[in-house]
Structure 1
């Protein structure tokens, strides 16, 4: 925006004086939220439960639970038990069973993503999706969560029904990270292994499914080298097949069933 010359002539000496004396308000930045938000370190044990009655008694320092399904009281209870709590959200796919499903216009809904009632989103349409995702992040913050796990963050590698590119995905994933950080929440990169080198600086941890089954776990090491946790699950491999490598790489690994209920088999 252009300002009147007379205003600048009056203001400029004041700004110069403030710069010399150290006076005046600090420049706006995100150091406050960054300093306050949680930073999970490599090796933390975790529980990931997205179905069934929540069992808060698993003796681990980190829980990852559904942001819509659980009230603030459940998050507070986990905090009283000494847990940090991650808010699971789908940010790259629409789910017909969510209370805000009707707010997504048909124009942003693509092909099904393989799960009943879910369809890929056109992540190019940030004009539509940013306010919707911001409200979801607000929900996580208001319930007292420490972090967000945004799911379906690799649509560009799938048949979404839209001509998504790697550049579209990078821009959208960074938008999601910013929305979380603006609210003081840590945020994890879900899968999207090929873009880790570009995104490790934007995210506070990673969440991965089946990297051992597909011989991809070394791709997650940039997070570990940066001092950031990698929360990892396998569904089909026995722990004897993936735990030795997981320990070597510094991953927080366990075996789960596909329904992501209470059952877990962690690496020792």
Structure 2
């Protein structure tokens, strides 16, 4: 989950744009798990979730919205030599998504600080498993190489539900398993406290503002395991965080809150 924004950044963003374990399975013809992409530490990347996509940034990895872009966009990025990550919200409901009506009101909690978004009751695996499986099927069908599941730390926030760390571990592992069954690499978004338990379940990490909050050292287990850490800062200048990021082996850059084209890499 991106950190709660100041009001001006929210306005800018708006301008741009009972637990059971039921599992429908990965669907037809998943890629064999041996073919799953496994990004290595140090890969440069671009993260663009708003504005017109610029496919010409000379980096090997793109992270873009899974709903907003068709298969043709993913194919074009592949022709340019990029690996492409599918951004999805798996821990929060968004009223602007085409499948928003499929989520029963009983699983919708408090707002998460973003317009039109509400936390999900991740204890309701019976409800959320088929919904998330369909979203991951979409990522696979469009040809994405990986998925960035967002809002994966609800238990640390005021969601409106009594979520526990155990609830979060169970749900995050479910999302990771569903992604991998479809041949998609999967990243752990933030959720630093559970890295020791979840390291084996995820192929890379995506982090926001670990330097600003003096947390980057907690991501080192991913790097030591040969797994990329894709990292951004919003408030700090590159000279304030890049030396440490390079030393730790992170793939770091500065972005603006709206996550448009602009980037300043380490």
TM-score, normalised via structure 1 length: 0.88
CA distance in 1, matches of 2:32, 2:206: 22
The answer to whether the Cα contact below 8 Å between 1:33 and 1:181 also exists between their aligned partners in 2 is: no
**SS of residue in 2 equivalent to 1:110:** strand
The answer to whether the Cα contact below 8 Å between 1:91 and 1:152 also exists between their aligned partners in 2 is: yes
Give structure 1 stretches of 5+ with no counterpart: 1-31
CA distance in 1, matches of 2:220, 2:87: 23
Give structure 2 stretches of 5+ with no counterpart: 1-30
Residue equivalent to 1:75: 74
CA distance in 2, matches of 1:187, 1:108: 24
State the number of aligned residues.
236
Residue equivalent to 1:206: 205
Counterparts of residues 1-268 of structure 1 (less than 5 Å): 33-267=32-266
CA distance in 1, matches of 2:115, 2:101: 17
CA distance in 2, matches of 1:129, 1:157: 19
CA distance in 1, matches of 2:166, 2:247: 32
Pick 1 or 2: higher relative contact order, CA cutoff 8 A, min separation 6.
2
- Give how far 1:34 is off: 2.6
> Any idea what the Cα deviations from partners look like across 1:203-260, whole Å, max 9, x if unmatched?
0000000000000000000000000000000000000010000000000000000000
> Any idea what the Cα deviations from partners look like across 1:61-88, whole Å, max 9, x if unmatched?
0000000000000000000000000000
TM-score, normalised via structure 2 length: 0.88
- Give how far 1:35 is off: 1.1
* Alignment RMSD: 0.6
Residue equivalent to 1:18: none
CA distance in 2, matches of 1:260, 1:34: 31
CA distance in 1, matches of 2:234, 2:33: 34
> Any idea what the Cα deviations from partners look like across 1:100-155, whole Å, max 9, x if unmatched?
00000000000000000000000000000000000000000000000000000000
Q: Displaced runs of 4+ in structure 1, greater than 4 A?
A: none
